[in-house]
Amino acid sequence: MSADNLFLPALKTASRKPGALARSFCFVLAALLATSCVSAETIELDGHELHVKLAVTQAEQNRGLQGVTSLSDREGMLFIFEPPRAVCMWMHRVPIDLDVGFFDKNKRLLAIFNMKAQTKTTHCSPLAAAFVLETRAGWFKDHQVGIGARLSREGDAR
């Protein structure tokens, strides 16, 4: 069933039965929320542990951290690009400043940028990126994490 047709049965049912509109609306809302669930994992970057939400699908990557009003020192979002490619990030609809780090396929840090809230300025990886990490603004400097640092994910061989 296509995404367009997903809502038709609920809407047709709602038009036939009084009170069914509320149930149909709840069903549709639950379906939408279920598709927007983002998985999470713990990563390590130069000995610093971070709990990150994963952005793997195009929809998750497009949404990013829009609407997030704060991040703790141990929180972030990890974007995963398979296959690695040129990646540019921007801050439209993100209400807080962020740091962004671009990583190659070997999980080595290629570049770090500070991104200002609510801007359309793009920040691009200098080479093909397999991973992009967004953290609170100043995180990389505060933790003295620089170019060449290695990202470790759960299940990586140590």
Give me the tens of pLDDT residue by residue for the chain, a chain 158 residues long. 444 444 333 333 334 444 444 444 443 333 344 444 569 999 999 999 999 999 999 999 999 999 999 999 999 999 999 999 999 999 999 999 999 999 999 999 999 999 999 999 999 999 999 999 999 999 999 999 999 999 999 878 65
Which residues, including other chains, have CB under 8 Å from residue 22's CB and lie 6 or more apart?
A: none
Asked, as a colleague might, if the bond just before 126 is cis with ω within 30 of 0, I would say no
Beta partners for 152? 44
- Distance between terminal CA atoms of the chain? 44
Q: pLDDT value at position 38? A: 63
User: Which residue's entry shows tokens 């190659």?
Assistant: 104
Q: pLDDT value at position 156? A: 81
User: Which residue's entry shows tokens 């840090």?
Assistant: 109
pTM of the prediction? 0.76
Q: How far apart are CA 9 and CA 75, in angstroms?
A: 40
Q: pLDDT value at position 23? A: 43
Q: pLDDT value at position 55? A: 98
Tokens at 95, concatenated: 């209400």
pLDDT tens digits along 80-117: 999 999 999 999 999 999 999 999 999 999 999 999 99
Q: pLDDT value at position 157? A: 62
Tokens at 85, concatenated: 């490619």
- Least Cα distance to 78 among 126, 33, 113, 44 occurs for 44
Helix (H) or strand (E) holding 62: helix 58-63
Does residue 86 sit in helix, strand or coil? coil
